[in-house]
Chains A and B, each alone.
Chain A
């Protein structure tokens, strides 16, 4: 089954403790992206990757890092999480970006930073 898988689905942690949210897709998609979703603000793009070893900032990249060492994985790293990063996070992927095809989303990761 074609899917985007995020782990963990839920995490409660404390300020300053590094964490990684993994994202994996099995569709051989070149494009991957991370979003955060907050009430009243909708979905905002954090980082995206057009291909392996190619990443770029979205609209809200501060406090986050990403890497794209292989096509199927696109982890989101919070080096020193803070309470304002408490949010619902989504990973998404799509085929070649310029081909105008829709993104497929994972089911989300709910992070609570205390």
Chain B
């Protein structure tokens, strides 16, 4: 069945380095993808999104890349800071016809000082 999956459960990086978190999705009809950050004791917070008609989108220190050929999504965080330590989820919206949003299982980003 359809699923959204993150490749690594935990990613450990040095402060100041760039981080790359990956996500694979299985529904080629999905038209919208979102990255969320979840800190301990809080709900997921929106980071960045991308529509299926785009390959790349940049925000402040974050970039999302979408490769529809291999159904792969990645989140790049530049100059990773201790405040970036959290669990990161990708989410996939199947289509506008249903209200379903499917989340990956999450990658824990640990930033070492």
Residues of A at the B interface (CB closer than 8 Å) are: 4, 31, 33, 35, 40-45, 48-50, 56, 58-59, 90, 92, 97-98, 100-108
Contacts and interface: CB of A to CB of B under 8 A. Distances in A.
A67 to B, nearest CB: 16
A92 B96 CA distance: 17
Contacts of B96: 97-98, 100
Contacts of B45: 105
A41 B106 CA distance: 9
> How extensive is the interface on chain B, given as a class?
20 to 34
A7 to B, nearest CB: 14
B99 A100 contact: no
B61 interface: no
Contacts of A105: 36, 43-45
12 contacts: A35-B103, A42-B104, A42-B105, A45-B101, A48-B99, A58-B99, A97-B96, A100-B93, A102-B49, A104-B46, A108-B42, A108-B43
